[in-house]
């Protein structure tokens, strides 16, 4: 996966509200129609890094099936970063698209 893309995906999956690692992993997997297959474990160092950069904040809560779980939510800084990353990503996709499929005007 592209450098920084995982971070962006995590931030994106937290837009709808706080979630724990398991939910985030499945959200990314399902959201991409199982195209993006990640080892779920690799998510956690990324989450840890985001928390260190204060883009997400964490708290311990109880999951839907009554398990203890660590929840993550977006911080305002995270929201700002997501917006920036999203527009940068869109630019990148457009740019790559133009190269891959040049319009022959």
Q: Write out the binding residues for another protein, residues 51-70 only, by CB under 8 A.
A: 52, 63, 65, 67-70
Strand, coil or helix: 37: coil
Q: Which stretch binds another protein (CB under 8 A): 11-19, 43-51, 77-85, 95-103?
A: 43-51
Of 44, 54, 92, 93, the one binding another protein by CB under 8 A: 44
Neighbours of 23 (CB within 10 A): 18
With CB under 8 A, what is the number of residues at the site for another protein? 19
Residue 36 neighbours by CB under 8 Å, 6+ apart: 1, 9, 28, 29
Residue with Cβ nearer another protein (47 or 81): 47
Residue with Cβ nearer another protein (75 or 89): 75
Give yes or no for a contact between 11 and 74, defined as CB atoms under 8 angstroms apart: yes
């Amino acid at each position: 996966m592209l450098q920084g893309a995982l971070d962006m995906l995590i931030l994106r999956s937290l837009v709808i509200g706080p979630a724990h690692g398991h939910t985030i992993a499945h959200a990314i997997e399902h959201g991409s129609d199982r195209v993006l297959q990640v080892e779920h474990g690799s998510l956690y160092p990324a989450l840890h890094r985001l928390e260190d950069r204060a883009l997400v904040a964490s708290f311990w809560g109880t999951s839907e099936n009554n398990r203890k779980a660590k929840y993550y939510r977006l911080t305002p800084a995270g929201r700002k970063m997501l917006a920036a990353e999203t527009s940068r990503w869109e630019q990148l996709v457009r740019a790559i698209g133009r190269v891959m499929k040049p319009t022959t005007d």
